[in-house]
Structures are given as C-alpha cells and as structure tokens.
Amino acid sequence: MPNAAIPNAATSNFWTRLEERTAPYNLLAHPFYQAWSRGDLTRDDLREYAAEYWHHVSSFPTYLSALHSRLPDTELRREVLRNLSEEEGTDSPTARPHSDLWMDFAEGMGATRSSVESHAVQPEMTALLATFRSAMQEPTPAAALAALYAYESKVPAIAVTKAEGLAQHYSADAATSRYFTLHQTADVAHASVWRELINKEIALDPSAAEAALASAEQAARALWTALDGVERQRLSRQ
C-alpha cells in the first residue's frame, strides 16, 4: 500500500463533496436490499439477482486490467495490478477468483454455472458495465480511481448486511456466503488504497478533482440503477 498522502484543504473538501454527491445512491437504502434485510426476497429472487450481478463481478477485473494497461510505470500502476491479482485469485496459492466466489453464492441459491454465464442481463446492468469501462478510459487517473472508490468503499457495509440476511433468512452455508464474508474486510483495504492514490493525484493536479467527482457520482448512480433493474424484474414475478 502506498504511503498515506497528507490531507490538505483541497483533498479534504474533495471527500466532503464526493460523499455529498454519492449519498443519494446509498445502496443499503435501495428497496431491493431493504427487502433482502427483511427476508422478503425468495430464493428465486436471489438466484436471479446472483445471475444478473455476476456479470459485473466477473467484469471487474477487466476494468482494472484496462486501467493498468494504460498507466505509466509508476506505483499507481502497481497498486492497480495488486488489486487485479486479488480479484483474479492469483495473489496466493489458496486464493480463488472473486467471480468464482460469487458463483458459489449463485449456486447456493439454486443456479447452475451455465445458466448464470448465459443469463441475459437487463439494460441497467449493460449500462453499469459500460459506465465502469468508460471510467477506466478517463484522461485523468483520479477519475478512474474515483469510480473504483465509489464502488469498493461501499461494499464492506453492504457485504455485512447481505451475509446477515443470508444467515438469518435463507439458511445459507459458509460457501454460499463466502463472497460476502471476504468482502467485509477485503474492500476496506482496497478503498483505502484508492483514497490515498486519489489524494496524491489531486495534490499533484487539483484540476482533476471535478472529473473525479463526476466519475464517482456516475458510478454510484449506475450501481443504484442496476438494482432498479433487478427490483423491476422481481416485482414482475409477483
């Protein structure tokens, strides 16, 4: 992990503004996740969600790879590669790709690998994938990092809620919940790294802040909207 950047007025203001702009898209307040926490979802609902969202989880390493491939030979590029290695499960002999852990969740809800891989995603999920792919091509690295931060900084709290819901309402075993138990801690570290790197980028180029704020907001909105598609499909089955 890089050395922590010393906060200054520009970066402190940046984080306040980022939280303000992403706050309307707090996923824990989304009706679908609220229903999950209450135990109102059926296993069919969770299976369809797992198949839909796997396409974002399995694409996440490709976002990182796209960013890594265009960065100069710096510590920033190496930090992106470290995150990519963890996502792909190549950082240790016992690690597994995170997309495989998500597949365990899908299979625990009754899906098959083939049905998940061939699942036709909703337009909102297609838009989510496009949003992150576009963010990785932003001219300023801070904007790409901000999209990653907007996602990974929120995952730990969401993972806690999901794991609790699976245990309390759906009798999920450890394998089914492993993706969520892992991400209660893994993405705390990831988000911390992105935050420090963004601080450094903005300290070097304060003009990059506006693009980073816009990118974070777009990513947060796309994540919320992807759940809108999941919720719409759920309600259509009732």
The 10s digit of each residue's pLDDT in 94-140 is: 999 999 999 999 999 999 999 999 999 999 999 999 999 999 999 99
Residue 19: CB atoms within 10 Å: 11
pLDDT mean across residues, the chain: 94
Over the stretch 129-144, which tens digit does the pLDDT of each residue have?
999 999 999 999 999 9
169, exposed or middle or buried, with CB in 10 Å at 0-12, 13-18, 19+? middle
For residue 218, pLDDT over 90 is answered with yes
Burial 214-235 (b: 16+ CB within 10 A, else e): bbbbbbbbbbbbbbebbbebbe
**So what's the pLDDT on residue 111?**
97
For residue 236, pLDDT over 60 is answered with yes
Look-up: residue for tokens 């838009």? Answer: 127
**So what's the pLDDT on residue 2?**
42
**So what's the pLDDT on residue 188?**
93
Average pLDDT over residues 196-206: 94
Alpha carbons 116 and 124: distance in angstroms, whole number? 17
**So what's the pLDDT on residue 34?**
97
Separation in Å, CA 211 to CA 83, 200, 232: 23, 15, 31
Look-up: residue for tokens 């009706």? Answer: 31
Question: Where exactly are the structural domains of the chain?
Answer: 42-236
**Domain 42-236: homologous superfamily in CATH:** Heme oxygenase-like (1.20.910.10)
For residue 83, pLDDT over 50 is answered with yes
